[in-house]
Structure formats: C-alpha cells, structure tokens
Amino acid sequence: MKILTLIKQYLSNINLKVLSIMAEDCRKIATFSIGAGIIGTIIDADNMTYFEAFWAILTGLYFWVLGTVFAYIEDKLRSKGEEK
C-alpha cells in the first residue's frame, strides 16, 4: 500500500480527465499485448516464439494492472474532491 500512496501523491496534481484517459489507454495496450501473446502461442505459422509470447502476455498484465491503479487513483481523487 505504500507504493499506492506514493503514486497517489505524485499523481494528485494531474488533471483527473488526463488520469482517466491514461487508465483507459493502458488497458487498451494491455488488451492488445495479451491478445498478441495468446495468438502467438496458438498459431504456429507466425514468427513469435513461446518466450516472446510469454513476455507479451506479462507486459499486457503489467499494463492492465497499471491502468487499474490509475483508474483507482482517479476515482479516489474524484471522490475526495466531491467531499470538499
């Protein structure tokens, strides 16, 4: 939770709309990367090795988590702003 606190402090000065767009874009990148990794493992005719497909899936999971964290922080900052 300490990491989330540090990220939240750093991102608290960013416009909430920008943070929301960043979260959405990270999740789009994640979807593409995970999809490419899955297709790379299924289709044998492509030039992607299983190792590369594995890393594509891991990269996608990383971006998905990052997008979810951005959305969480944006939601918390928005609710904090409404309380004031």
Cβ neighbours, 10 Å, residue 17: 9
Q: Which pair of tokens denotes residue 9?
A: 């402090």
Cβ–Cβ < 8 Å for 68, 41: no
The pTM (predicted TM-score) of the whole model is 0.78
CA-CA distance, 71 to 38, in Å (whole number)? 25
Question: What are 2-49's pLDDT values in tens digits?
Answer: 877 777 777 667 788 888 999 999 999 999 999 999 998 888 777 888
Give the start-to-end residue ranges of the domains of the chain.
15-83
Q: What is the DSSP letter of 82?
A: H
> What are the pLDDT digits (tens) for 41-82?
888 777 888 899 999 999 999 999 999 988 998 888 888 776
Confidence at residue 71, expressed as pLDDT on a 0 to 100 scale: 92
